[in-house]
Chain A
Amino acid sequence: MASILVFGESDDAGLTAPTLEMLGAASRLSGDLGGGVALALIGTALADAASAAGPAGADTVYTADSESFASYQTDSYLPVAQGIVEQDSPSVVLMSQSSMGRDLAPRLATRLGTAAIMDSLGLEVDGDRVKATRSCYGGNARQVVTVQTDPQVITVRPKSQDPLEADDARSPDVIAVDVAEPTLRARTTGKEQAESEGIRLEDAEIVVSGGRGLGGPEAFADLESLAGVLTAAVGSSRAACDLGWYPPSQQVGLTGTVVSPTLYVAIAISGASQHMAGCGGSKNIVAINKDPDAPIFSFSRFGIVDDYKKVLPALEAAFAEALD
C-alpha cells in the first residue's frame, strides 16, 4: 500500500515531464504522510517508461499495457484506473492537469465515492490531509482546499512541482494489471495534429506571445519572424485565438497551455488574469504595450511603452545582432 498513487503519462520519449514532477511532489509529501509512492501507467509499450519510474521516485509501478489504451478514452481508462486504486488503496491520488487528468480525475473520484481538487499549484501536508492551493476566478484569486473524503484526488498543474534528481540505484516493484476489455460507448475516430510547427510551447526556453492589441492575424507572421531569431515558440492570448488570429493549440492561459519559460515576451497583451494564469510562472516577463497602464507591466521585469509595430522590426534587428 502506498500513501500516494500517481497516475502518470508517457510518450515516445518516456515519462512526461509532469509525471516526473508529480513523482517529485509525491516523494516530498509521502515523507510527511508516511508510506510509499506508487506510479500507475495506462497505455501501450510501457516497459521503458516503467523502468524509468524507480529512479524518478516510485517504489511501486502498476502497468496496464494494452493496444486498446493507445489513446485516452474515458470509458476504457476509467475501469482500469478504478481497479488500480482499489488494489493499492492509497490515501492520495495525483494526476496531471492534462487532457487526461482533467477528464479522468472527477469521474474516477466520483466512482470512488470521493472528490477531486483540480489544477493545484501548491501542495502541503496538514495532518492526514493534503492542502492544495489553486487558482480561481480566472487567476484573480487563490483558494486553499482539502478533500475531506478518501482517497484525496488532486490534479497538479504542469511545472508547479519539482522533479527529484534521478537515482538509478532505486528499482521499483512492477505489477502488471489485468486488463478486461471495456464496453465502449464512445470511440476515437480520428486525430488532427495542431497546425503549428516548430518548438512546443511547454518546452520552449523563450516564448513570444501576442494579444488582441496586435489588431489582426497578419501580425503573427512578424512574431514568428522574431521567434525565429530567438529560437522561441509563439503563443497567443485567448482573445486573439477566439478571434481566429492564431490556432487554439497556441493559446497561453487558464484554458490553454501553461508555460514557464526563462523569458516570456508579451506583445500587445494587456495582462488579463486568465492570461497571467498561463504565463505567471515565467522566470522573466518582458512587455511591449502602448498603454502604460496595461496590467501586464505590473508582472514584468522590463517593459517598453510604445506601438509594437514600430518596436518589433528594431527589436528583431537588435536581437539578431546580439545573438550573432
Chain B
Amino acid sequence: MDVIVCVKQIPDPETPAAAFKVDEAAMQVLPAQGISPVISPFDAQAVEAALRIKDASGDGTVNIISLGPDSARDAIKHSLAMGADEGYHLKDDAFEGGDAWTIALALSKAIQHLGVPDVLIFGRQAADWDQGTVGSIVAELLDLPSATVLRAVELSGDSITVSRVVADGFENIELSTPCVLTISNEFGDPRYPQLRQIMQAARKQVTELTAADLGLDASEVGSAGSRIQMHALFQPTSDVEVEIIEGDSPEEKAAGLVNALREAKIL
C-alpha cells in the first residue's frame, strides 16, 4: 500500500515559555536561542502511522512532502531516517507568507504530480499555528474521504479502519481508499531514528519542486493567494498574583488553603 505523509518543520513546541518571544511588528515568532526547530510532533506520529501501514501491507512506499524554507529539509530527513522512502521539498519564495489554503493547494498539486496514493496522512495540526485544517482542505481538493484526529489506524483488506477521538470517547470508522487521515497525540510515540538510519537518510536525495513545477502561478500561493489575513501576533499576559499558603506542616498548609478558599468565597 502506498502512502504519502505531509510534514512540517516548526519551532520546538517544548520551548520553555520563558524563551518564547514574539516580534509583534513583524508578526513573527523569534527563533529561541540554542533550541533547534523540529518536525511537528503530530507529523512524526503521522509518519509512524504510515510506516506501520506499509509494514502491515507487506509492500508499497511511504513518501514524504514538506512545504517550507530550507529548514523543511530537516523534517523530510527526519522522516526518511524513521524509514520513509523518498522526500519531496516544495520550496519557492512564492510560497512565503501563505495560509493553510495556499499550503494545502500546493500540497494537493504535488500529490497529483506524484500520483494520488492509497492513503494520505497528516498530523492533526501543525504545533505552531494550531489551525488543524490542511489535511481536510487537501481531502476536499482531491475529493477524497477523510477521518481526522485519530488515535489508531489499521489496514483491513483494501480498506482502512480507524479510531477517531471524539468528546465522549472514540468512534470506529471504516474508509475506502484512497483516503485522507489526520493523526492525534493519542496515537502514541513515533519510532526514534537510529544513528545508522540517520546516516543513510543523509545520503538520500530530496527532490525540490517549485510553484512552477506544480503548475501554480505566484499569485495563487504565498501571501498573494491567502484567504486568511493576520492583523496581530502577541503574547498573552496573566494578571493574577499568586498567594503562596505557608505553613510548618502539610496539615497547616492544607488547612490554610481551605480557609483561604472559604474567605474568598470560592468554596
Chain A residues close to B by CB (< 8 Å): 71, 73-75, 98-99, 102-103, 105-107, 109-111, 114-119, 131, 134-149, 185-194, 238, 241-242, 248-249, 254-255, 257, 262-263, 272-274, 283-287, 292, 295, 297-306, 310-311, 313-315, 317-319, 322-323
Contact = CB atoms under 8 A, between A and B. Distances in A.
B242 interface: yes
Interface string B61-104: 00000000000000000000000000000000000000111001
25 contacts: A99-B166, A107-B136, A116-B133, A118-B131, A118-B132, A136-B233, A137-B127, A140-B17, A141-B233, A187-B174, A188-B173, A189-B173, A193-B169, A248-B151, A286-B257, A292-B244, A300-B242, A302-B245, A302-B261, A305-B244, A314-B249, A314-B251, A315-B258, A317-B254, A322-B262
Nearest to A99: B166
Given A115-B227, A188-B173, A194-B168, 6 more contacts: A75-B145, A135-B236, A147-B228, A192-B170, A286-B257, A301-B242
Contacts of A73: 173
Given A141-B235, A302-B261, A317-B254, A148 B176 contact: no
Interface of B: 11, 13, 15, 17, 20, 22, 27, 29, 99-101, 104, 124-125, 127-133, 136-137, 139-141, 144-149, 151, 161, 163-176, 179, 184-186, 188-189, 226-236, 238, 240, 242-245, 249-251, 253-255, 257-258, 260-262, 264, 266-267
Contacts of A106: 100, 132-133, 136-137, 140
B171 A191 contact: yes
A300 B242 CA distance: 5
A298 B174 contact: no
Contacts, number: 247
A218 to B, nearest CB: 19
Contact of A144 (B232, B235, B249): B232
A298 B240 contact: yes
A263 B232 CA distance: 32
B17 A273 contact: yes
Chain A residues touching B, majority SS: mixed
A189 B257 contact: no
B244 A304 contact: yes
A11 B27 CA distance: 41
Contact of A115 (B100, B145, B174): B100
Contacts of B229: 145-146, 148
A114 B227 contact: yes
A323 B261 CA distance: 12
B154 to A, nearest CB: 12
Given A255-B124, A303-B243, A274 B13 contact: yes
Contacts of A192: 163, 169-172
Contact of A142 (B233, B253, B260, B261): B233
B227 A302 contact: no
A115 B228 contact: yes
Contact of A143 (B136, B169, B232, B240): B232
Contacts of A301: 240, 242-243, 264
A190 B170 CA distance: 9
Contacts of A283: 266
A235 to B, nearest CB: 14
A99 to B, nearest CB: 4
Contact of B253 (A118, A238, A304, A313): A304
Contacts of A105: 133
Nearest to A277: B130
Contacts of A142: 232-236
B128 A137 contact: yes
A263 B264 CA distance: 12
Contact of A102 (B101, B148, B176, B232): B148
A299 B258 contact: no
- A106, A143, A315 pick with most chain B CB within 10 angstroms: A106
Given A137-B29, A141-B235, A304 B167 contact: no
Most B C-beta atoms less than 10 A away, residue of A98, A185, A241, A274: A185
B25 to A, nearest CB: 14
Contact of B174 (A138, A189, A249, A255): A189
A318 B99 contact: no
Contacts of B189: 242
Nearest to B185: A255
A148 B174 contact: no
A145 B200 CA distance: 42
Contact of B186 (A114, A146, A186, A248): A248
B179 A141 contact: no
A99 B168 CA distance: 10
Nearest to B19: A140
B230 A241 contact: no
Contacts of B168: 193-194, 249
B20 A110 contact: no
A190 B152 CA distance: 14
A110 B261 contact: no
A102 B255 contact: no
A323 B267 contact: yes
Contacts of A273: 17, 20
